[in-house]
Structures are given as C-alpha cells and as structure tokens.
C-alpha cells in the first residue's frame, strides 16, 4: 500500500496539522506589543488541544517555531522561548491528566539545555497516553528534515549496510522525525496566508489544505470544527479518478 494513501484500518484516527500564524498581526492591529500576541497564542493552543479531543482528532501537529524564526529579533525569540517554558511547566500535568501524549520534532541542538530537558520530561511522562497524540514542531524546517534524512540514508549506503536498490518511500519516511506518525490528513493555516511555509513537506504530499482568515489568537473549537467540516466535504482521490 502506498504510504500516502493508508487504509482506514491502518490509521483510523484523523491527523490534523496546523500552521499557527497571525500572533504578531493580532497584537499590532490592537496597538499592542507583538509579544502579547504570542501570549494570546498560547491560549489558542490550549483551546485547540481541548477542541481536538472533543472532536475526536487522534493526532494534532502544531508548527510552534521554525528554523527561519531564529532570524527574528533576539528579544522576540527570547519571549517565544520563555512562553515555551511557561507552557510546558504550567500545562504538562494538565495535559497528562487529559491523556495527551506529547512529542517534539525539530533540531534540538539549537534549543537551550533546560528547554531540551523539559521536552524529554514531557515526552517521558506522557508516552503512554492515547487520548490525543500532540506533536509540536520546534526549530523545525521541512527541507532541513528531508536533508537530514537523506544524510542518514547516505551514511548507511556508504557503510555498506543499505543497498541503493532497497531505498523506497517507506524506508525514507522511516528516517524522518515523524517516522512513527501517520501523514496528516488535513493541514490548516490561520491568518489568511495561503502557503505551508516549509512545514511537513514530505508528509503533507496528499493532505487537504484549508486556509482560514482567523488570526491564531482567535482560533478555537468553532474554527477547528469548521475546518473539519470542510475537510469531510472533499473527496480524497490520491491521484485516482473520482468515483473509483
């Protein structure tokens, strides 16, 4: 079976990925500092997690901080890292009680050691939970992920442990950060922008895309439900002819 078109029984739980965009514009439009927009964005994360559980979403992947975001002003990056610490320290036990399993994907080498420790603690504490699989992409870029996977494959070929003829899509996907996750069914971007911005480039090959005008700090249950309704109205053909 083609990895991009899994049978329903293989991955019955819906996987929703979200590019959380618009924090800065939300704040600027109200004459507030951009940092306040990011703080309000944390509230939206909490609402969306609760909404995903209520709407029976099995997997939720959030684009929290990209490799390109490191180029933002130092003070803004510092505020984002502070909010990450606040979220993990303040919400970890609540997420655990709700049955949320936490994973983090991206380049941890660029993150502060105490943040890496928090990521490991969060993953370890919640690894047995099954209510919602929550993945947060931090210091993440889709091209970076694919490049690193290619390096891993190349090292194995050079070492003689992998024959070039054995390389296929499934093997390559197994070298990605998301090796143990199903591909996203639905990718949502907030704020009205219509691009995926280097997010899950390999995995989103056959995802349905929904772009919403709502800025991320205003996103919640109603917006997620509307996106799911739009998703369910579409026919997913995976390259086949409709009706087959």
Known binding-site positions for Mg(2+): 21, 208
d(CA 39, CA 27): 10
Contact 173, 4 (CB under 8 A): no
- State the binding site: 21-26, 34, 38, 66-68, 70, 72, 189, 195-197, 208
Q: For residue 158, give Cα distances in angstroms to 151, 152, 153, 163, 181.
A: 10, 10, 9, 9, 28
Please tell me the total number of residues recorded for the chain in this structure: 244
Name the binding residues for substrate. 22-26, 34, 38, 66-68, 70, 72, 189, 195-197
The catalytic residue among 21, 183, 185, 218 is: 21
Is 129 known to be catalytic? Answer: no
- Cα–Cα distance measured from residue 60 to residue 44, given in angstroms and rounded to the nearest whole number: 14
Count of Cβ atoms closer than 10 Å to residue 213 Cβ = 11
CB atoms within 10 A of CB 187: 24
DSSP letter assigned to residue 206: G
3-state SS of 20-70 is CCCHHHHHHCCCCCHHHHHHHHHHHHHHHHHHHHHCCCCEEEEEEEECHHH
Q: Six-digit token pair at 166?
A: 């054995």
Is 198 in the active site?
Answer: no
Of 43, 50, 69, 107, the active-site residue reads 69
Residue 12 buriedness (CB in 10 A; 0-12 / 13-18 / 19+): exposed
Q: Where does 98-220 have alpha helices with state H?
A: 113-126, 142-159, 169-173
Q: Which residues are designated catalytic?
A: 21, 69
């Amino acid at each position: 079976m083609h990895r991009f078109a899994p049978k329903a029984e293989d991955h019955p739980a819906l996987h929703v990925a979200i590019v959380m965009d618009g924090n800065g514009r939300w704040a600027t439009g109200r004459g507030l500092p951009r940092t306040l927009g990011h703080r309000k964005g944390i509230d939206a994360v909490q609402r969306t997690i609760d909404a995903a559980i209520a709407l029976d979403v099995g997997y939720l992947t959030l684009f929290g901080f990209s490799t390109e975001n490191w180029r933002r002003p130092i003070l803004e990056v510092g505020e984002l890292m502070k909010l990450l610490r606040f979220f993990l320290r303040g919400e970890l036990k609540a997420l655990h009680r709700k049955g949320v399993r936490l994973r983090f994907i991206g380049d941890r080498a660029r993150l502060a050691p105490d943040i890496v420790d928090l990521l490991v603690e969060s993953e370890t504490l919640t690894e047995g939970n099954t209510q919602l699989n929550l993945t947060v992409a931090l210091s993440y870029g889709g091209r970076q992920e694919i490049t690193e996977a290619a390096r891993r494959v190349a090292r194995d070929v050079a070492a003689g442990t992998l024959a070039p003829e054995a390389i296929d899509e499934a093997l390559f996907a197994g070298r990605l950060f998301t090796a143990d996750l199903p591909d996203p069914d639905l990718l949502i971007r907030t704020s009205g922008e219509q691009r995926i911005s280097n997010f899950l480039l390999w995995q989103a090959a056959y995802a349905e895309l929904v772009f919403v005008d709502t800025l991320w700090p205003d996103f919640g249950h109603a917006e997620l439900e509307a996106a799911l309704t739009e998703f369910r109205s579409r026919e997913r053909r995976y390259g086949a002819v409709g009706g087959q």
